């Protein structure tokens, strides 16, 4: 039973990931805790520390590898921050990734209010943008960037917008959703611990959209946030415009690496008609390992892209 073996190994891996990320994610200021954990426990080697950092999903830490995300006081209606570098000074040199030097993603802790914006860099290293924070609540802001001479990083920080807030329930998993008159259908299911293809198919008025416009160097940009700690997941587009094989819709395929079972919210940005639209999905990874095991029926799943038909057992 290859599947059973894999699931068992998987559960052990999950415990490790959850143990690490949950402990950190629950603390107000994660960076010092991460350091004290490393310093306090049986003196891990530098290799151990690097290995741990490599396994952590992005966005859980406000400070990593010497770089720290520092919100800056800003006028009403504006959001501003800096990235302090290893020398303590604001970083002013960045590499372009996905068409931009800085991607700022925000979402409330209940996974509502997602926005993905691109701030402007001032010469002193301050990033400024019309605030994407859409009202009261506990927000998480993610800075996704590559400092010149460094590795890609996603740092995260909590931001509170005062006022009356209404916690929103996470919408139930669904195979399709609508946004701005478009219907977007998701096929594929993320499988913890391995790369899973997710395909999003865009239609409008019942007809496939075959003239998607490149956005951030791809026909779509997908961000996934994990419920509970808002781990920020890298989801890479499979193919780029102009590579001779990637078509401008209706289907856009991504390769997702989710680190654990659990619920995730997917946010697909795509451009059509000169405007960016965001379609949102709830997906549950590894449902069979946490819920009751579904009764086998029909042929065993073969894995991969043919998952994700409605009623696949994810709930
Ligand atoms: Cu971006």
Q: Convert the pLDDT of each residue in 139-190 to its tens digit.
A: 999 999 999 999 999 999 999 999 988 889 999 999 999 999 999 999 999 9
Is it the case that residue 262 has pLDDT exceeding 90?
yes
Give the pLDDT band (50/70/90) at residue 269: very high
CB atoms within 10 A of CB 291: 13
For ligand 1, the distance from its centroid to the CA atom of residue 137, given in whole angstroms, is: 23
3-state secondary structure of 225: strand
For ligand 1, the distance from its centroid to the CA atom of residue 234, given in whole angstroms, is: 12
For ligand 1, the distance from its centroid to the CA atom of residue 277, given in whole angstroms, is: 13
Scored b (16 or more CB within 10 A) or e, 174-183 reads ebebeeeebb
For ligand 1, the distance from its centroid to the CA atom of residue 24, given in whole angstroms, is: 26
For ligand 1, the distance from its centroid to the CA atom of residue 261, given in whole angstroms, is: 26
Q: Convert the pLDDT of each residue in 206-242 to its tens digit.
A: 999 999 999 988 999 999 999 999 999 878 788 889 8
For ligand 1, the distance from its centroid to the CA atom of residue 300, given in whole angstroms, is: 39
Which tokens belong to 275?
A: 């405007």
Which tokens belong to 193?
A: 């611990």
For ligand 1, the distance from its centroid to the CA atom of residue 269, given in whole angstroms, is: 9
For ligand 1, the distance from its centroid to the CA atom of residue 144, given in whole angstroms, is: 8
For ligand 1, the distance from its centroid to the CA atom of residue 94, given in whole angstroms, is: 14
For ligand 1, the distance from its centroid to the CA atom of residue 140, given in whole angstroms, is: 16
Is it the case that residue 282 has pLDDT exceeding 70?
yes
Give the pLDDT band (50/70/90) at residue 286: confident
Rounded Cα distance, 117 and 139, in Å? 15
For ligand 1, the distance from its centroid to the CA atom of residue 188, given in whole angstroms, is: 24
For ligand 1, the distance from its centroid to the CA atom of residue 183, given in whole angstroms, is: 23
Q: What is the pLDDT of residue 288?
A: 55
Report whether 170 contacts 281 (CB < 8 A): no
């Amino acid at each position: 039973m290859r599947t059973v073996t894999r699931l068992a190994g998987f559960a052990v891996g999950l415990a490790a990931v959850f143990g690490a990320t949950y402990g950190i994610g629950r603390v107000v200021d994660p960076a010092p805790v991460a350091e004290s954990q490393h310093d306090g426990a049986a003196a891990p080697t530098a290799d151990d520390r690097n290995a741990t950092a490599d396994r952590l999903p992005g966005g859980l830490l406000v400070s990593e590898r010497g770089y720290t995300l520092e919100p800056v006081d800003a006028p009403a209606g504006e959001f501003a921050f800096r990235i302090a570098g290893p020398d303590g000074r604001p970083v002013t040199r960045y590499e372009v990734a996905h068409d931009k030097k800085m991607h700022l993603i925000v979402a409330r802790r209940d996974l509502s209010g997602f926005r993905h914006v691109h701030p402007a860099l001032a010469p002193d290293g301050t990033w400024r943008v019309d605030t994407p924070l859409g009202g009261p609540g506990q927000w998480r802001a993610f800075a996704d960037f590559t400092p010149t001479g460094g590795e890609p990083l996603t740092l995260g920080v909590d931001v509170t917008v005062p006022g009356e807030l209404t916690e929103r329930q996470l919408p139930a998993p669904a195979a399709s959703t609508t946004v701005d008159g478009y219907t977007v259908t998701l096929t594929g299911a993320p499988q913890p611990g391995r790369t899973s293809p997710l395909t999003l198919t865009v239609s409008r008025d019942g007809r496939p959209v075959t003239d998607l416009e490149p956005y951030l160097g791809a026909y779509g940009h997908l961000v996934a946030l994990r419920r509970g700690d808002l781990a920020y997941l890298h989801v890479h587009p499979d193919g780029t415009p102009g590579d001779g094989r990637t078509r401008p819709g209706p289907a856009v395929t991504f390769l997702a690496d989710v680190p654990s079972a659990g619920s995730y919210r997917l946010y697909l940005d795509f451009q059509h008609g000169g405007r960016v639209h965001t379609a949102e999905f709830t997906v549950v990874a590894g449902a069979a390992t946490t819920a009751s095991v579904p009764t086998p029926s029909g042929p065993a799943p073969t894995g991969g892209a043919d998952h994700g038909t409605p009623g696949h057992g994810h709930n």
